Amino acid sequence: MEANISLSLKNFTQLENFGHSLRAPSYCFRLTCVEEVDKIFRLARENGLTVTVRGAGRSYNDASLNGGGIVLDMSAMNQILEWDPATGVVRCEPGVTIEKLWHQVEPDGWWPPVVSGTMKTTLGGCLSTNVHGKNNFKMGPIGEHVVEFTALLPTGEEITCTPKKNADLFYSMISGLGMLGVFTSITLQMKHVESGLLEVHAWPVHDLHEHLFLLLDKAPNYDYVVGWLDTMNGGKSLGRGQIHAANYLHGNEDPNPQKTMQLNSQILPPRIFGVFPKSNLYLFMRPFVNNLGWWGVNTAKYVASLRKHTFRQSHAAFHFLLDYVPNWELSAGRGGLIQYQSFLPKETAEYAWREMLTMSLRRGIPSYLGVTKRHRPDKFLLTHAVDGFSLAMDFKVTNKNRSTLSKMLQDFDRVVLNAGGRFYFAKNSETSAEAARTFLGTETITKFKELKKRCDPNHLLESDLYRRVFG
Ligand SMILES: Cc1cc2nc3c(=O)[nH]c(=O)nc-3n(C[C@H](O)[C@H](O)[C@H](O)COP(=O)(O)OP(=O)(O)OC[C@H]3O[C@@H](n4cnc5c(N)ncnc54)[C@H](O)[C@@H]3O)c2cc1C
């Protein structure tokens, strides 16, 4: 059905970030075809408004918010246009989710080479932020697996980009935060798999030094590596947690691959213990989402993880742990939550994170989540990756802690920048223009702005994030 393209109150709505900590009233249009994108550009021009593209709205920050402007919701442009099970090449509309993609390809023996920690994201959103998975050290970001994309620029020009054709736009629109044009189709190469299962090894780690050593040490021998870090305990235990490293199964390691690659062996169950509906589980988490409750949860998790063990897990269960509890982010309560993910070179990570974790415990604003990953650099323009590690931390926002939390995250930024680190534009809500200039460098920002001038001379594409960081 064609969208009603007018600036009527019917199209005016309040949008939020994934963590429900930010709100932006905007005109929102759910588009069904490329022609409508062009109509929206015209409407914006005629009314002096700006436009932000939105996929599934799963960014933790203001990447797909545009207060007072127009938001183009691409989630209805979600058709898989071509799928070739012989080569593993798939062409999709930009609103196809990672979920729809793996449902299509896994029964044929393929898996998306890079996935985010939730399967609800769209391919357009994933390219714009250039998402990384638990295999970033090996497979790079999703952009490295894009064969080709087409996009509509605000000038009205339709372009096709590959790593060789329009290469400057290929490497800048991927990672470009939807600020240069709108992806209209995306062609990706899938990864061939011989089983629907992964073999997962779990090791306890007792402090930050051991934590980072194990991530570094295990990565070369595994397809995926990820760590859980207990952010609630300091002192000698600071940085303790658990490392998971996983490998694909090959040859006859899986006795029944045809079965394990079927969707019913992969899909996460809708009920816990077959009885309790998962959709309400977040309500039971709420009483624990405070400093004391979460300290208890982390301590119990750490004790339970002290045993070194090996097990087999479906791809979906390994990658999309957070999707087990729908709406888990609502457990943070009214103020919502924000995520802070820093990327640090392997030489400086331990010192910087020791300082940040200690600071958060001292100030009484601990993070309720700590996830670590191993990374390598890539050649996309607004890259967030380094030869090192990342640590993602979730903070509950309340009226009481809002300003002290914001101040602490600015202090974190200084630590990260002094240590030669980077930030990720899909996550952090505090990164300032000055911080971005420091880690991206003036040359990169100048290049990005020149490309913006070429693709979007009238600055039609703007988001709250763009104004915060590049405005
Ligand atoms: C639970 C959870 C786990 C996550 N885990 C990871 C992870 O492991 N690794 C990781 O890298 N990220 C992760 N993320 C972040 C997430 O993958 C990114 O924020 C991703 O961009 C969200 O996709 P989306 O479709 O929701 O896009 P949105 O949030 O709606 O938009 C993101 C950006 O893409 C742009 N955009 C969207 N569609 C288009 C289009 N068609 N053309 C041009 N621009 C477009 C928007 O303007 C915006 O700048 C996670 C997020 C959540 C909520």
What does each C-alpha distance from 352 to 14, 205, 345, 399, 432 come to in angstroms?
38, 19, 10, 28, 19
- Fold annotation for 80-192: 3.30.465
Give the three-state DSSP class for 469: helix
CA of 364 to the centre of ligand 1 (A): 30
Indicate whether residue 203 lines ligand 1 (CB < 6 A). Answer: no
- Give 157-175 as a DSSP string: -EEEE-SSTTHHHHHHHTT
334 pLDDT band, cuts 50/70/90, is: confident
Spatial distance between the Cα atoms of 241 and 238, rounded to a whole number of angstroms: 9
Q: Pick the more confident residue, 286 or 402.
A: 402
Tokens of 59: 């960014």
Contacts of 159 (CB under 8 A, 6+ apart): 150, 151, 153, 166, 169, 181
Sheet bearing 51-54, strands edge to edge: 12-16, 23-30, 70-73, 51-54
Indicate whether residue 152 lines ligand 1 (CB < 6 A). Answer: no
Indicate whether residue 182 lines ligand 1 (CB < 6 A). Answer: yes
The closest of 329, 338, 334, 227 to 285, measured between CA atoms, is: 329
Q: Pick the more confident residue, 279 or 471.
A: 471
* Nearest CA residue ID for atom 17, ligand 1: 116
The closest of 295, 301, 285 to 202, measured between CA atoms, is: 301
Report DSSP state, residue 190: P
Pocket test for ligand 1, best of 97, 116, 341 (most atoms within 8 A of CB): 116
CA of 54 to the centre of ligand 1 (A): 9
Question: What are 43-71's pLDDT values in tens digits?
Answer: 999 999 999 999 999 999 999 999 999 99
CA of 385 to the centre of ligand 1 (A): 16
Q: What is the mean pLDDT of the chain?
A: 94
What's the confidence (pLDDT) of residue 371? 97
Spatial distance between the Cα atoms of 161 and 381, rounded to a whole number of angstroms: 15
Cβ contact 389:344 at 8 Å: yes
Spatial distance between the Cα atoms of 136 and 131, rounded to a whole number of angstroms: 9
322 pLDDT band, cuts 50/70/90, is: confident
What is the β-pairing status of strands 158-161 and 276-277? unpaired
What's the confidence (pLDDT) of residue 3? 66
**Helices (DSSP H) in 5-150: which residue ranges?**
34-47, 98-105, 123-129, 136-139
Question: What are 231-271's pLDDT values in tens digits?
Answer: 999 999 999 999 999 999 998 999 999 999 999 988 776 66
Phi then psi for 396, rounded to 5 degrees?
-75, 135
Q: What average pLDDT score do residues 115-122 get? A: 98
- Fold annotation for 9-75+452-469: 3.30.43
pTM for the model stands at 0.96
Domain boundaries, the chain: 9-75+452-469, 80-192, 197-432
What's the confidence (pLDDT) of residue 174? 98
CATH node for 197-432: 3.30.70.2520
Query: Does position 456 have pLDDT exceeding 90, yes or no?
Result: yes
| Helix 349-362 with 402-418: angle, nearest 10 deg | 160
What's the confidence (pLDDT) of residue 190? 98
199 pLDDT band, cuts 50/70/90, is: very high
What's the confidence (pLDDT) of residue 274? 57
